[in-house]
Amino acid sequence: MQRSLWAVIAGTFTLRFSTGLTGTMLVYYLAELPSHGGPSVDPIILGFYGAAFFVTELVLSPPFGSLGDRVGYHRVMQLGPIFGFVAVILTGLTTNLWLLGLTRALEGASSASSVPSILGFIAIATAGDVALRGKAAARFEAATLAGLGAGLVVAGPLWTLVGAFGFFLNAGVYVISLAIYRFGVKDVRAEHVGSREHRPGSVRRYAALLRASQVWLLAPTWIAVNAAIGLWTNQSLFQLIKEPPPKFAHQLLMGSLTPILISVAFIVAGVVFFGGLIWWGNRFKTYRRTTIIGLGIAGGAGLVIAGLVVNHSYGMSPIVIVLAAIVAAVGLFVLSGATPAALGLLADMSESFPEDRGAIMGLYSVFLATGQIAGSLLGGVAADLGGLDGIFVATLVLLVVAILPLSRLRAFEHRIEATPATPPAIDPVV
């Protein structure tokens, strides 16, 4: 993989690390805000802050994607670390709830500006090279998840050691991300992807672009998959740690794990998931994108069913629990291929719109944010009604929703596959 692509992946990791670190430390900060001279914070305000991040990313990703098409992806991706730097400095300086809400919107703008440009860059850099596109898509997903996970892990010790000063240290990581994008990425064609006569980016043009493209064939599947992931990322820890109410006492997993056990489980799951990302990323020439997505959804269903078995394994033989754990691991490994395959499919769709790749790839963030918001809302209701069983069942429902439109997408897949072309040259880093 060319050095500029590696630089983009490295910058994705550091940027997402800062995002995860800020978001987690903010929770600690808000919990102790009165001791810093601020007001007390209730769950409603915390929920508002979470929504502010995703809504901002949802709204701003398309226009920033179009801006990348107009002025160059390399330039626009550098805006993300700048937004994040301002946000994290403000967070460490204020206890005002309105300003803290603004910082979450700025963090959302950080993702909205960088991610579509990064994906537009990856799409144009891998044009005509299916194998390279698969590797790049998988490594982007791996860098995203690894960065967010690392930020979450580091946040606790960092807050314990330095408290709110950790926000200012995180600002330095944003500077590192900016330096990576500024000096590590060199792509002359991406800088001038939009011609002066064409000048894409208007609202009318973007609306026409979406109407003309087949990207909406992918939307229901990807939104549903992201909703299933969002459902777990927002509710699973809470259900695994808190003491269950009497009506859920029969569910083995509820309230049964300590933070140490959860950390070990996340490490094991992370190894399996990242192994799957790399494996499936190298299979883009062997399997159709929709095949990988379909297998991923089936793997997710196997994972959920195995979880249900373990959650009701009182009195069962240890062999049954071990077999369920193996099924869960295999399901997670297979599930990991779904997101890079969907990302690769979106990049293939952008081949039909070579001067609007950023606008098309910006829909990645739109689908991600929409799914996360829907998963958060559904997860709260499901957990309240059925505990972990409710989350498992809701996940299965979302996976069914995800797979239903896949047959129609598969029928059109041959029309949107990347056409062989000479990949654009990426200047070496100097």
Instruction: Return d(Cα 22, Cα 110) in angstroms, integer.
Output: 12
Q: In the chain, which residues fall in CATH 1.20.1250.20?
A: 3-186, 217-414
Supply the pLDDT for residue 193: 47
Closest CA to 174 of 288, 341, 18: 18
198 in Cβ contact with 357 (< 8 Å): no
Supply the pLDDT for residue 414: 67
The residue type found at 111 is: S
252 in Cβ contact with 313 (< 8 Å): yes
What does 46-104 look like in DSSP terms, one character per residue?
HHHHHHHHHHHHHHHHHHHHHHHHHH-HHHHHTHHHHHHHHHHHHHHH---HHHHHHHH
Fold designation for 3-186: Growth Hormone; Chain: A; (1.20.1250)
Supply the pLDDT for residue 195: 41
Q: Dig out the tokens for 303 from the structure.
A: 């994972």
Instruction: Return d(Cα 167, Cα 190) in angstroms, integer.
Output: 33
Cα distances (Å, whole numbers) of residue 398 to 146, 229, 291: 25, 10, 18
Closest CA to 140 of 29, 16, 248: 16
Fold designation for 217-414: Growth Hormone; Chain: A; (1.20.1250)
Q: What residue ranges of the chain have pLDDT lower than 50? A: 1, 190-201, 418-430
